[in-house]
Amino acid sequence: MKNKFNNINFMATLKPVSIAYAALIIIGIILTVIFGANLDINFKGGTRISYSYQGDIDTAAVTAKVNEVLGKQATVSTSSDISGNTKQLIISLVGNSSLSADVQENLNKTLTDTYPDNKFALYDSNSVSPTIAGTFFAKSLVAVVLAGIGVVIYVGIRFRKIGGVSAALMAYVALVLDCIVAFLTCTIFRLPVDSNLIAVILTLLGYSLNDTIVIYDRIRENKTLYPGKELKELVNESVNSVKVRTFVTTLSTVIAIIVIIIVSEIFGLSTLRSFAIPMAFGLISGCVSSLFISAPLWVLYKTRNKKSK
């Protein structure tokens, strides 16, 4: 078992890992089509109202009361700070669903009168028009695309001695897979697609790229040391020599993220939860794609390109 771990044939694992990614993406697309993406009001427009309260509440009963007052379906959730002393009831209406002052005042009165012991008090109210939300969403996508282009240019220049452009494109493929996994995690766990996801994707671009650069750097070193060695064997040895470092680095980071997830679940910190869960799965995907996708895919491309010439 030890020898097998020390000498993993990463070229042989490219196909099954690619099939696993394809299956995950297909399942995620099906779930997205069935349930839809839970777009935040910053991306789709809508209204969010927050109330502070004390004690415990029946979320289902409060949701029914809120929908009765508003005359439309709202998403109701609760959150609290780490100490648990400050609790919030968050009411979200997605789309072109602004509330008039009279309706909001009626909602305030209904909550305070129906649940006097909970001492509901208006904490925050925010409305975003669909036009502004669409503009913000477009700018976020542009930021992600520009970051990806920057990645391709950087890797292409740094590793030009081993075919920089092709290496950069294969690294970009791995990064795209990581971003897709982060997005599909939001769909599967019914997390809001908001600015937290953009932060996760931009973080993964840097984190996953770092793993890939370490692998490419080792390939470049070994190519100088062993110029006559076959490319498949050279890359396989290079990836094997850095895989432990990649595993350990990813594991230590994921453990820290899991702690954040546990804390967010215990104290109802929905904002932390929507960041930490896709980040954890994105980090795992970053480790897998860097080791099993980017370098082996680059070898496959170079081999076929050489044969065609």
Tell me the residue range of the domain where 96 lies.
Answer: 46-128
Binned at pLDDT 50, 70 and 90, residue 97 comes out as low
Region of poorest pLDDT, from 40-54, 240-254, 285-299: 40-54
Q: Of all residues in the chain, what percent are helix, strand and coil, respectively (each to 5)?
A: 75, 10, 15
The domain boundary, picked from 82, 100, 128, lies at 128
pLDDT in tens, 157-191: 888 877 778 888 888 899 999 999 999 999 888 88
Helix (H, G, I), strand (E, B), or coil: what is residue 289?
helix
Q: Give the pLDDT confidence score for residue 137 in this predicted structure.
A: 79
Q: What are the backbone angles phi and psi of residue 50, rounded to the nearest 5°?
A: -115, 135
User: At CA 177, angle to CA 176 and CA 181, rounded to 5?
Assistant: 120
Among the three residues 70, 101, 128, which one is the final residue of a domain in this structure? 128
CATH of the domain at 91: 3.30.70.260
Per-residue pLDDT at 266 exceeds 60? yes
SS3 at position 121: strand
273 and 158 in a common domain: yes
| Residue 85 pLDDT | 66
What distance in Å separates the CA atoms of residue 105 and residue 83, rounded to the nearest whole number? 30
**30 plus 54 within the same structural domain:** no
15 & 108 share domain: no
105 shares its domain with 248: no
For the stretch 29-47, pLDDT in tens is 998 888 888 888 878 888 8
In this structure, are 267 and 155 located in the same domain?
yes
Calculate the CA 178 to chain-centre distance. Answer: 8
Q: Does residue 257 sit in the same domain as residue 282?
A: yes
End position of a domain, from candidates 128, 150, 184: 128
pLDDT digits (tens, 9 = 90+) for 69-95: 888 888 888 877 655 567 888 888 876
Asked if the model's pLDDT at residue 100 lies above 70, the reply is: yes
The total domain count for the chain is: 2
Flag whether the pTM goes above 0.95: no
DSSP letters spanning 139-203? HHHHHHHHHHHHHHHHHHHHTGGG-HHHHHHHHHHHHHHHHHHHHHHHHHTT--BSHHHHHHHHH
Same domain flag for 255 and 162: yes
CATH number at residue 217: 1.20.1640.10
Res 5 pLDDT > 70? no
Residues 201, 271 share a domain: yes
Report pLDDT digits (tens) over 193-212: 888 998 999 898 888 888 88
Shared domain check, 182 and 105: no
